[in-house]
Structure 1
Amino acid sequence: MRKMLLALATAAALPAMPAVAHVTIDPAQATPHAYVRAALRVPHGCGTAATTRLTVRLPDGVTGARPMPKPGWALIIAPREATGAPGGHGSAPEVATITWESGRLPNEHYDEFVLRFRAPNEPGATLWFAVRQECEGGAVTDWSEIPAEGRRISDYPHPAASMRLVPR
């Protein structure tokens, strides 16, 4: 009984650990309507298989997205459907998804896939970046679950990467 109470007390004293098995985005917070350089962090492959393709679906309201080329990986940029809104200086069609493919990220390593975009002007909003991770042998993991009201991200096995928009 004493061992069990000691184990419970020790577990309760440990800090809450964030989920480490999913794709995350850094920074986790950004300023509304600001340009953001963000990195999708991929901590491992699928089981023991290497990651060979990564696709991120950009949240509504994110504009001006541009990926950073990654040596050894090909880029595919899929535009959103046309909205009829005129573009500004140097504008291109808005981006729906960005895919890095034909590279190889071994399971033993982690890496970052970088993009730049303008955050929507919505203080307090959370942006959810759904990420599809494809690996050798056909394994696929969709990091796309968005927590329901009152639930925590840790309640889900495959949460989407999230970024909170906070005022300056």
Structure 2
Amino acid sequence: MSSSRMRGRAATVAALAGTAVLLAAVPAFAHVTVTPDTAAKGAYSTVSFKVPDEEDSANTVKVEVNLPTDHPIASVSIEPVPGWTAQVTTTKLATPMKTDDGTVDQAVSKITWSGGKIAPGQFQQFPVSLGPLPADVDSLSFKALQTYDNGDVVRWIEIPQAGQPEPQNPAPTLKLTAAEPSGDAAGAGTGTAAAAPSADTASPLVPVTSAADSSDGTARALGIVGIVVGVIGVGFGVFAGRRRNPAGAATGGAPDGPSGPAV
């Protein structure tokens, strides 16, 4: 076999291998996901459940997202999505939660969006505000069901496991990170608490000026510029007059004509 033919076959094999890798990677971009995929423990966060339509000729007509009841979230609110109706399902908690607003014995366990349509090749985002997020776990998984108008139901319910390949139908998962230290905690290390500057305290590096001071300064600047421009104009006029009458300028005599003596 000639070397050119071998190179051609090698290029063909490489191209087929690359195509296979791309085809295998395409479904990973079409999962139902939560965006952003990270949030701080104990904080409130607004996330969006991003739902793409993967069918060639069917529309997505219903989306169900289940919230974990083993780590319930006390406050859940939904941003309206045009064309879609949201229905919230709550569950009574076996162990009530204590929050800053009191004791909570019920929590949202499922949100169902219906009435809208996601066409093939399109996606829709469903924003939700959650909080406070649990501080005793490193992630929250939201099992989701996607229903098409042809009757197909895709169950995004497989929980990703660390060190394992991504499952075929992974549940949207929100990673929880350590909460950022507060200003008091940061100041405790030096014996002083970090305080934000008040409105009555002026920074020594930034002068505080009122609107009137600013207007006066602008007026002064414009006046100075006008004076300078006027002086330049007068000088230019004198210079131009002398060039038009060099003889008179040299002898001091008056120019010819009825216009009178030169100034």
Q: CA–CA distance in 2 between the matches of 1:45 and 1:53?
A: 14
The 3-state SS of whatever aligns with 2:142 is strand
Which sits farther off after the overlay, 85-94 or 43-52? 85-94
Q: CA–CA distance in 2 between the matches of 1:110 and 1:150?
A: 30
The yes-or-no answer on 1:115 pairing with 2:128 is yes
- The residue number in structure 1 matching 2:14 is 7
Q: CA–CA distance in 2 between the matches of 1:138 and 1:28?
A: 30
Alignment gaps of 5+ in structure 1: none
CA drift at 1:56: 0.4
Q: How many pairs does the alignment contain? A: 161
Deviations 1:80-104 (A, max 9, x none): 2233626754968310000101111
The yes-or-no answer on 1:54 pairing with 2:68 is no
Contact 1:53 1:134 in 2 (8 A): yes
Deviations 1:105-163 (A, max 9, x none): 1123111011111111136x12111110001011110111113453132xx21110111
The yes-or-no answer on 1:73 pairing with 2:87 is no
Contact 2:96 2:105 in 1 (8 A): no
Q: Which residue of the other structure, out of 97, 103, 110, is the alignment partner of 2:110? A: 97
Q: CA–CA distance in 1 between the matches of 2:12 and 2:34?
A: 38
- The residue number in structure 2 matching 1:139 is 152
Residues 87 and 71 of structure 1: CA distance in aligned 2, closer, same or farther (over 3 Å)? farther
Residues 84 and 146 of structure 1: CA distance in aligned 2, closer, same or farther (over 3 Å)? closer
Q: CA–CA distance in 2 between the matches of 1:148 and 1:97?
A: 23
Contact 1:46 1:141 in 2 (8 A): no
**One-letter identity of the residue aligned with 1:40:** F
By percentage of residues, which structure has more strand? 1
- The residue number in structure 2 matching 1:22 is 31
Q: CA–CA distance in 1 between the matches of 2:120 and 2:12?
A: 38
The yes-or-no answer on 1:39 pairing with 2:53 is no
Structure with larger RCO (C-alpha < 8 A, sep 6+): 1
Q: CA–CA distance in 2 between the matches of 1:86 and 1:163?
A: 21
The 3-state SS of whatever aligns with 1:82 is strand
The yes-or-no answer on 1:126 pairing with 2:126 is no
Contact 1:79 1:93 in 2 (8 A): yes
Q: CA–CA distance in 1 between the matches of 2:88 and 2:62?
A: 13
**One-letter identity of the residue aligned with 1:101:** S
Residues 96 and 46 of structure 1: CA distance in aligned 2, closer, same or farther (over 3 Å)? farther
Normalised to the residue count of structure 2, the TM-score between the two structures is: 0.54
Contact 1:45 1:107 in 2 (8 A): yes
The 3-state SS of whatever aligns with 2:14 is helix
By percentage of residues, which structure has more helix? 2
Contact 1:122 1:165 in 2 (8 A): no
Q: CA–CA distance in 2 between the matches of 1:149 and 1:86?
A: 29
Alignment gaps of 5+ in structure 2: 1-5, 181-263
